[in-house]
Amino acid sequence: MNVINFSKRILTWIVTLAGCFVGVIATIILIRGFDARRMPELETWHTTRLSPEFRASDVKPGFTFADYLKLEDRLFEDLKRSVDQRTAGEDQHIFNRYFIESFCHPDRQEKNWNRTFELCPEHFKGGVLLLHGLSDSPYSMRALAHIFYQQGYYVLVPRLPGHGTIPGMLKGTTWKDWTAAAELASHHVRTVIGPDAPFFLGGYSNGGLIATYYALNSVHDESKIKPQKLFLFSPAIGITRFAAFSGWHRVLSFIPYFKKIAWESVNPEYDPFKYNSFPKIAGHQLYQLTRVTQKKIDQLKNNGNLERLPPIQTFSSVVDSTVLTPSLVTHLYNQLKPNGHELILFDVNRFSALGPFIRDRHDAFLNSLKGDSGLPYAWTLITNQTPDTLRVVAETCDAGSDATTIEPLNLDWPRGIYSLSHVAVPFSPEDPLYGEREDLKKKGFFVLGMVEPRGEKGVLQVPVDQLMRLRYNPFFAYIERRIVESVK
């Protein structure tokens, strides 16, 4: 009898605790729902659904990349009809990318880089597929694409589903759509370059994650085009665990009163080639892709087949508020087998005068990396030559070695820059939109990388940290050199 009573009490406690947990979660979601109502009003580019957008389910026998491009053509026609030509009233201003006469409108730029593009040299050494990041567009691969092209490689940069049009389109795409588009594009590259030419695969941020997932699956899947090498830039291998809760907004977002809770941010859309607003479901899809990628890494490791991965060369900033750089090491690089892999990290500016102002220089992470002996990959750290200079060097440790070498680079930290950022890595200082282009600024061009707002705090609708974030890589010349050395 006592045992039965005790069991009932235990069950009651469990039910009570579970109820309290559900109540707490429901309260948090409800509070977030009311808090989200204070966001700016949703505009046409947040609520419109364009068509036809590519879906993984579109891939059927006979469906080719040419069909993918036809869908893209029709999609951009609908963008013009449903959004650009309907922007009216107070939204008709020069800083709105969806106002046709704005100098932020993509069609007013040198080229509409929101669209899929390819670079075709006269003679092909091989082919390269480059995948852009989440909320980005093919523009983010522009400088990298030209490096490969100048070395004689055919380059394809597809616009991934949900991107390049309006931020609302990210609410309807999944990670399976992105990976299906990448697979379709890889087959197109192989068709262009022929059966024997080398094929390289690269990606930035979420594109780097997609490239990694594709390469992992190509180990056993004979239907996939196997890359000879991976080039990753700020890859989203590890992201914050809070991303696991990014799908919970759906508890309330179907109610019109709480529709804004579906958005992580709602900001003015002044960037012609990147969304400033971001729906939470897109972050949830990214999280789902990190999970299936990690499972694939674990599966290949347990089967002893991880050594069949092609060489991976990764460029990433030590400090990154979008992805977790230490997770890149623990979740991917430390699991690899020796095969020419290399990790290139850009350190914070360690000039002594900046020390008191930098919150976390990630010394523990870097010391653990340097302290591990016999790693299965080489690593390079771009860092200050000494604390008394802005001049940087490349500190390198080869795979399986404990010794490091120091190479002077004849590069310096620019004045006023204390670190790289997630969004800076793949962009050159010469980039006409995000670079350090004083010449273009003086001519009246819109150079986002040089926007320097001044005024009182709490006034701007756009987060100040978004405007302060470094948009170009002052050490891009080193990336270019290393890529050229890899593909010669």
Buried b (16+ CB within 10 A) or exposed e, 341-364: bbbbbbbbbbbeebeeeeeebbee
pLDDT at 147: 98
Least confident interval from 226-235, 237-246, 426-435: 237-246
Phi-psi label, residue 350: left if phi above 0, alpha if psi -120 to 50, beta otherwise: alpha
Domain that holds residue 187: 43-293+304-310
Domain final residue pick, 278, 310, 342: 310
| 231 and 166 together in one domain | yes
Q: Does a structural domain hold residue 245? A: yes
Same domain, 32 and 145: no
pLDDT band at 323 (very low <50, low <70, confident <90, very high): confident
How many Å apart are CA 346 and CA 305, to the nearest integer?
30
User: Are 15 and 106 in the same domain?
Assistant: no
CB 163 within 8 A of CB 170: yes
> Which pLDDT band holds residue 3 (cuts at 50, 70, 90)?
low
* pLDDT reported for residue 245: 59
Tell me, yes or no, whether 21 and 86 share the same domain. Answer: no
Whether residue 157 is predicted with pLDDT greater than 60 in this model: the reply is yes
Q: Provide the pLDDT confidence category of residue 252 given band limits of 50, 70 and 90.
A: low
Q: pLDDT by residue (tens digit) across 360-373?
A: 778 888 988 888 88
30 and 77 share a domain? no
Average pLDDT for the chain: 89
At 166 the pLDDT is 97
Percent of the chain with pLDDT over 90: 67
Instruction: State residue 475's pLDDT score.
Output: 97
Domain end among 277, 310, 343: 310
Same domain, 125 and 245: yes
| Average pLDDT of span 126-152 | 97
Is residue 209 situated within a structural domain? yes
Please tell me which residue, 27 or 142, carries the higher pLDDT value. Answer: 142
Report the distance separating Cα 87 and Cα 100, nearest Å: 8
Question: How much of the chain, in percent, has pLDDT values that exceed 70?
Answer: 91
- Between these two residues, 488 and 128, which has the higher pLDDT value? 128
Q: Please, are residues 461 and 124 in contact by the beta-carbon 8 Å criterion? A: no
Query: Which two tokens mark 226?
Result: 């196997």
| Residue 193, in any domain of the structure | yes
What is the band of 350 on the pLDDT scale with cuts at 50, 70, 90?
A: very high
Same domain for 215 and 74, yes or no, is: yes
Residues 169 and 223 in one domain: yes
Q: What pLDDT was estimated at residue 243? A: 61
Cα–Cα distances (Å) from 148 to 128, 129, 187, 190, 224, in that order, read: 7, 10, 19, 16, 22
209, 132, 203, 205: which is closest to 163 by C-alpha? 132
pLDDT at residue 242 is higher than 60: no
Residues 31 and 107 in one domain: no
Do 134 and 13 lie in a common domain? no
pLDDT score at 224 = 92
Instruction: Note whether residue 56 is domain-resident.
Output: yes
132-141, 161-170, 249-258, 315-324: range with lowest mean pLDDT:
249-258
| For range 348-357, the mean pLDDT | 90
pLDDT at 301: 93
Q: What is the pLDDT of residue 255?
A: 76
* CATH code for position 52: 3.40.50.1820
How many domains in the chain? 2
User: Domain check: are 90 and 177 in the same one?
Assistant: yes
Give the tens place of pLDDT for each residue, 61-105: 999 999 999 999 999 999 999 999 888 888 888 889 999 999 899
Could you tell me the pLDDT band of residue 192, with boundaries at 50, 70 and 90?
Answer: very high
Tokens of 485: 């050395």
- Sorted by sequence, the CB contacts under 8 Å of residue 286 that are 6+ apart come out as 134, 175, 206, 209, 236, 239, 243
User: Which of 374, 383, 400 lies closest to 344, judged by CA?
Assistant: 383
Establish if 439 belongs to a structural domain. Answer: no
Integer Cα distance of 394 and 121 in angstroms: 32
> Does residue 341 form part of some domain?
no
Taking the C-alpha atoms of residue 433 and residue 302, their distance in angstroms, rounded to an integer, is: 45
Q: Is the pLDDT of residue 466 over 80?
A: no
User: Does the structure show a pLDDT above 60 at 374?
Assistant: yes
Is residue 485 scored above 90 in pLDDT? Answer: yes
Instruction: Tell me, yes or no, whether 483 lies in a domain.
Output: no
Give the Cβ contact number of residue 339 at 10 Å: 15
**Could you read off the pLDDT of 269-311 as tens digits, one per residue?**
999 999 999 999 999 999 999 999 999 999 999 998 999 999 9
Residue partners of 324: CB distance under 8 A and separation at least 6: 238, 239, 240
pLDDT for residue 230: 98
CA 61, 204, 480: angle at the middle one, nearest 5?
115
**Residue 133 within any structural domain of the chain:** yes
C-alpha 429/C-alpha 161 separation (Å) is: 28
Based on the domain organization, do 101 and 227 belong to the same domain? yes
Q: What single string gives the DSSP state of each residue in 152-200?
A: TEEEEEPPPTT-SS-GGGGGS--HHHHHHHHHHHHHHHHHHH-SSS-EE
